[in-house]
Amino acid sequence: MTHSFDEKFWKDGIVFLAGIDEVGRGPLAGPVVAAAVILNPKVKIYKLDDSKKLTEKTRLILEPQIKEKALAWAVAEASLAEIDSLNIVQATFLAMRRAVDQLSLKPDFLLVDGRDFPTFLYQEEGPVLAGQAVIKGDGISTSIAAASILAKVYRDNLMTELANDFPQYGFEKHKGYGVKQHLDAILKLGPCVHHRKKFIRNIMQKKAEQMSLV
């Protein structure tokens, strides 16, 4: 991936261009995580791409490079309680806002991966930050791609740590997503404290409905 998408903003005088991405909207367990990255227009980081397209080995190589070479970066979470109380979309926006707030530099412009662009302030101070949503932005913007890598590595590491206390669910393998192994463990053992209550409730209800039809 080249800097071509981001360069048009830099050429327009936007120096502190922040890319924002999240990971963990779909899993049944663990928090949703967002990252914000302001790359240095003068410094290249090779092999940046959508984190989902990269191997784990490549992500682990790129993560420290991004942190070292970026002008600013931050990673933030929205908790299980916040996901259950707000809904996953609003919890995702909350994690994104927290990541932006934690940047050491105030962004001039924001690029958010996806279709939606929530309202952003910087550390609760106005005016509202300018920016735009970029569909599949993690595949065309190096700033968003960098954010996707930081968020992915952070959350993968977190889920692996949670697996130490709850090895029976296999969090280190599926990172909380609803694969068969994970669903079978939930149905057999019930949820643990790291499962999203509303997500799990829906699964258990569907399972009960299926069994009633047999």
Mean pLDDT of 171-189: 93
Number of domains comprising the chain: 1
CATH for 22? 3.30.420.10
Q: Residue 171 pairs with which residues in a beta bridge?
A: none
Q: Could you tell me if residue 158 is inside a domain?
A: yes
4 pLDDT band (50/70/90 cuts)? confident
Q: Is 29 exposed, middle or buried (0-12, 13-18, 19+ CB in 10 A)?
A: buried
Residue 129 C-alpha from the chain's centroid: 20
* Structural domain span for residue 135: 4-164
Nearest to 52 by CA among 114, 138, 137, 178: 138
Q: Could you tell me if residue 193 is inside a domain?
A: no
Per-residue pLDDT of 29-49, as tens digits, reads: 999 999 999 999 999 999 999
Residue 11 φ then ψ, to 5°: -65, -25
Confidence (pLDDT) at 76: 98
Q: Could you tell me if residue 179 is inside a domain?
A: no
Confidence (pLDDT) at 214: 46
Q: Could you tell me if residue 65 is inside a domain?
A: yes
Confidence (pLDDT) at 208: 61
